């Protein structure tokens, strides 16, 4: 795996807010999935649940 660190710049505040919202949703989804896995949910069930 290769990791690249970079500073993001946005042409407008609206673009920045869209990316921040996407990052917030992704993080929330990952936390939810991790917690459900700890509770014993199956991976396939979570994949179907989180598609939306």
pLDDT of res. 16? 95
In a domain, 36, yes or no: yes
What would the pLDDT profile of 24-43 be if each residue is shown by its tens digit? 999 999 999 999 999 999 99
Q: What is the DSSP string of the chain?
A: ----------SSHHHHHHHHHHHHHHHHHHHHHHHHHHHT--HHHHHHHHT-
Number of domains composing the chain: 1
pLDDT of res. 51? 87
In a domain, 8, yes or no: no
pLDDT band at 52 (very low <50, low <70, confident <90, very high): confident
* Sequence-ordered list of residues with C-beta below 8 angstroms from that of 32, at least 6 positions apart, any chain: 50
pLDDT of res. 13? 95
* Full domain range(s) for residue 43: 13-51
In a domain, 2, yes or no: no
pLDDT at 10 over 80: yes
45 near 27, Cβ under 8 Å? no
């Amino acid at each position: 795996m290769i990791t690249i660190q970079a500073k993001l710049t946005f042409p407008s505040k609206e673009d920045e807010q869209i990316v921040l919202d996407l990052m917030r949703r992704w993080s929330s989804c990952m936390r939810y999935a991790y917690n459900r896995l700890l509770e014993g949910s199956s991976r396939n069930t979570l994949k179907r649940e989180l598609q939306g």
